[in-house]
Structure 1
Amino acid sequence: MSATTPLLDVAGLTKHFPILGGFPIRRTVGAVQAVDGLDFSIGEGESLGLVGESGCGKSTTGRLITRLLEPTGGRITYRGQDITNASRRQLAPVRPEIQMIFQDPYASLNPRQTVGKIISGPMEINGINPAGGREKRVRELLETVGLNPEHYNRFPHEFSGGQRQRIGVARALALEPRLIVADEPVSALDVSIQAQVVNLLQRLQRDLGIAFLFIAHDLAVVRHFSQRVAVMYLGRIVEISSRDELYGSPRHPYTKALLSAVPEAMAGDSPGRERIRLTGDVPSPVRPPSGCRFRTRCWKATDICASETPPLVRVAGSGEGHLTACHHPEEAGA
């Protein structure tokens, strides 16, 4: 693999969930277009934030990349290998390298298993026997994520939400992954605990060189953690850029509206900025609007927005790698 080849490359990734109707014969009568043509890449050791409103397809994207869901279309390439439709046998050597941290620390841990069993489970499934044994490795992982190794034989109900999420992190680290998909890893935690978990993930990324797809709806958390940020709306990426350029000079109206809702203390760069209030609800992914999907809520929409889908491209005045899907992008620095 050449130095310029990304760790993960996604092209045209699509996931449509069929809607079944009819009786007695069930047939497909429509589809929920949860993810509809995503293009992005993640480099070795890089963190990419994926943000957007609830229901825009962020979590579905994470499950497609980890192959917990089968894509409807598009391509997923990991370290130069196409894993889009790979069989279970073909995925076996790849699965340990792509791990996931789930959103709910209460639902993602088996209440009938001890912490030791939960964290050593991936090693057993993959037939990995670390030097010194699995128990020694589990105790090391507990210490790595800031938990007491003596808690090896405790059950999940004996831990707080923040501690449970640390157990989930330790489980994800058990197979020494190169890419972790963190699906809203702090949204279910108290605000006082969120910073601890985010700082833990940052330290692990720095020390172990792990790449992250960090899925979240909290723009302040994403800004703290991610080097690049992709903004999703109704199954599509509308803007992707480096963190500093996206937060300092958003070009898509939707991105600008999202950032205007971030509390002033978090925004930092733009004191006294105008609060943009979006009208209407997010359209249904069953029948998304034609052309630009954001046009039904956009204050800049014109006829071309309804007739033509804007491509995700670099617009005038944007930096290298800053891509926007909009017919009427915001002015640079506005």
Structure 2
Amino acid sequence: MPSDSALPARSPRTRVSIRTQLERTGIVLLLIALIVVFTWREPAFASVDNLFSILQAASIVALLAVGVTITLAVGGFDLSIGSTAATAQMAASYVLVVWHGGALEAIAACLLLGVAAGLFNGLLITRLRVPDQLATLGTLFLLAGLQLIPTGGRSLATGTILPDGTETTGSFPAAFLAVGRARLFEVVPIPVVVLAAVTLVAVLIMEFTRWGRVIYATGGNETAARLAGALTSRYRVLAYVASGVIASLGGALIAARVGRGDVGAGNSLLLDAVAAALIGYAVWGAKRPNVLGAVVGAIFVGVLLNGLTMLNAPYYMQDFIKGALLVGALAFTFSIGRESRR
């Protein structure tokens, strides 16, 4: 038997390679480990229906995280994204049950609201020079209040009494509800299909087009990008418009899924979307905002919450457990990255 001194030692290059792989795959490996543990404790967790249920639940957060990621890439931070989604689902509900509109009109109203919110944020930032976080924080409160005014703070459905005393008589048509509840080939929920399409388009634009390169260049050094000839203000506005449109699409999916305008729908969307977008920094060792990483981050959060619920973990412990795992995973990933660069 060879002595310890006779065993081949790992070269520094091998150790760096291992650290690099851990840096790139740490979050993904943790996600796989969570799935294995939850399946071991509760075999029903790995059923096809439950996995697609997780994806359906995570799809809204993932969409919003994609929007946040685009604004992070341009050097901003859209804090209004949860309120935009919440106001959009109230707008869709108002079109349907108050104005008796159809599914297309409701979705169009959502998207127009998203464009308006994005333009408002972008112009505040580029024309009035309001810092991104302050501008979008103001928009957050404006939209949070705006969604309550038409209904007097009530959720909106058939039979809701409006502030003027009238009763809503419209309803949610089946075509609109199908957007949030139907399944493609009776397996894949439509919100998951929408998320896949938006993710594909966003990845192609952000990673493989001049538009995406200018977005990252503006976020990295706006002055240098401007001196190189990029219309940085225009790109910043476009980034916020894209964020608003994606958030409003998420709002339409919420309304279609729950079948009413829920005034509490956006309460946790912002924090979950921001968490997913920031987790994206650690996915594949990107160390920058990236769309695919944000989607993985949203799925990570969705798997964690679903697994804890199936294991009957106390509701008051779930946020703590989620925070502990996220902090641990991110700390591990970034500390490995620092070690590999030494």
State the TM-score, normalizing by the size of structure 2: 0.24
Larger CA Rg, structure 1 vs 2: 2
Q: Greater relative contact order: 1 or 2 (C-alpha under 8 angstroms, separation 6 or more)? A: 2
* Between structures 1 and 2, the one with greater helix share: 2
* Between structures 1 and 2, the one with greater strand share: 1
State the TM-score, normalizing by the size of structure 1: 0.24
